[in-house]
Structures are given as C-alpha cells and as structure tokens.
A and B are shown apart, each in its own frame.
Chain A
Amino acid sequence: MTLLAREEHKREFAAAVGDVDAILTPTAQTAAIPIRARGPVGTSAHFTRPGNYSRTLRPRVPSGFSTEGLPLSLQILCHAGEEATALRIGWAYEAGHQLEGAQTSGA
C-alpha cells in the first residue's frame, strides 16, 4: 500500500511542479547537530527524504557556514531523469558563489 501510495505521490508532486526546472531547498532544517543531541526521528532528513522518495539525484552545494562554523548547503531537487539540469544549476551556483567569495576577500 505504501509503495502504491508512493507512485501516486510522485505523480501528484510532478503534476504540481511540472512547469519548473527544479526546486531549491535547504539541505537540512538545522546546521549539523552533535551526535548526543539527535533524537529518535531524524529531523535532519526533513528535506532530503522527499527526494530520496522519488529516487532522483539531488545535488547539494555548500552555501555558507553557521555562526558556529558548521557548513550549510543548498539542495537542488529536479524531476526524475533530469539530473543534468540539477548539476547544471549546482555548477552555476558554485561558480557564482566562489566569484562572490573572491570579491569579498579581495575587498
């Protein structure tokens, strides 16, 4: 039943976002949490599990650091079979991001 529902969910989601090339989300709701602080339900998987559900490649690209110095990242969700588009978006962001970093450090 769950697997049948999954196919229906995938169709329903694809129809709702059919006219976009990708969806941008944070990779997780928080920066990395200490192992001791994690709970029984993996809230760190809130944004990544939906992509896993559709079994599509979802690039995640570093997007900065928390005030504690922990890495943050951007997740790029694409349509099934459109991994090339997701990688293209990730490449453009990474290239643009590095450029901005270089400008900042040069100022």
Chain B
Amino acid sequence: MRISTYGVLPLSSTLDTPGPLARSVEDAALIYRALSGPDPRDPQTFAWDAGGSAATLRRGVEGLRLAILPDAERIGVEKEVLAAYDAAVNALARLGARIVRVEFPRRLSDYAGATGVIIGAEGYRFVGHLVDDDTLPTDPHVRPRIQLDEASRRATTL
C-alpha cells in the first residue's frame, strides 16, 4: 500500500487502496510511480519503498512463473470469460512465461467473504449514519452490506 489515502473518502480504513486507471499499462505504471511514496499524512506509506517500476517494465515475462486458476475456481465463471482468460494465459506462455499450477489454501470466496465483513464493519463507522437513515435514497443492495449486525462489527473491531 504505497499510495497515500490522504484526501480519499474512506470506506474501509484497512482495505482502502488507491490506484490509477489508465489507457495503457505504461500510463498506469507512470501514474502509479508519481502517486506512490511516503506521505506524513498517511504513515502507512512509510512501510514501503517507492514503487520503482520503470526499470523493469519492458523486461518481458521470459522465465517468470505464473500460476493459473485451480480447476475448482473455474466453476461459476462464464464460458466466454474463461475462453478469454485461457487465451490470455496462452499468450503469456508464448511470450516465454512458465505457466504453473498451484492450490490455494482456501476458496477465494472465503477471502471475498472476509473482505465483505471488514468493509461492513469499518464502512459503518464512516457511512453508518447514512445507511441507517431510511429517508435517504441508498442503494437497496448496498445498505445491507454496510448494516452488519452488531456482533459482526464487534468481532471485526476487536
């Protein structure tokens, strides 16, 4: 987490991670480098070296070991999404990457679920007063994500 969250509207203080959206990877790398670095207004940025990606950006993938999704994680993914994914993996293999198989210690949905609990508990501190106000036009799907029960919130904050 190298980019300062100072001035970023908070949702989850332990998850919020700003990053660039750009037309190309090179632009994203340049913006990322410009934005990252130590900021006294967000001391978490001191934990990392500045993201020096310019030197290695064009080095290619020859010899890199890239892991693909375990079969169990392909279940539930749309067919054409998988087709585009497999084509991308094959493209990287042709560029010299070594494609390897790994097993994850847990299902990805476990991490996604835990992330949701953290977002709910931490987000409630920032926007709880908004989602608890039924007169405000809050998205009906967003509201329950923030309105975790009290026990979940306590479990997370301890």
Residues of A in contact with B (beta carbons under 8 Å apart) = 1-3, 5-6, 9, 12-13, 15-17, 19-26, 28-31, 38-43, 45-47, 49-50, 52-53, 55-57, 59, 61, 63-64, 66-67, 72, 74, 81, 83-85, 87-94, 96-97, 100
Contact = CB atoms under 8 A, between A and B. Distances in A.
A97 B91 CA distance: 7
Given A46-B108, A66-B81, A92-B61, 18 more contacts: A1-B156, A1-B158, A2-B121, A3-B14, A20-B102, A23-B68, A23-B102, A43-B76, A50-B111, A55-B17, A57-B19, A57-B32, A61-B25, A72-B80, A84-B52, A88-B60, A94-B24, A96-B91
Contacts of A16: 102-105
Nearest to A65: B84
Contact of A93 (B57, B58, B92, B158): B92
Interface of B: 1-2, 14-15, 17, 19, 24-26, 28-29, 32, 48-49, 51-53, 55-61, 64-69, 73, 76-78, 80-82, 84-85, 87-89, 91-92, 94-95, 97, 100, 102-106, 108-112, 114-118, 121, 141, 144-145, 155-156, 158
Interface centre among A61, A66, A84 (most CB of B within 10 A): A84
A85 B14 contact: no
Contact of B66 (A13, A84, A89, A100): A89
Contact of B56 (A5, A55, A88, A96): A88
A67 B62 CA distance: 32
Contacts of A47: 108
Nearest to B92: A93
Given A16-B103, A66-B80, A87-B25, A50 B66 contact: no
Contacts of A43: 76
A50 B34 CA distance: 26
Contact of A87 (B28, B91, B116): B28
A99 to B, nearest CB: 9
Contacts of A41: 116
A47 B141 CA distance: 19
Contacts of B92: 24, 89, 92-93, 96
Contacts of A52: 15, 17, 115
Contacts of B100: 20
A63 B95 contact: no
A59 B112 contact: no
Contact of B53 (A9, A49, A50, A83): A83
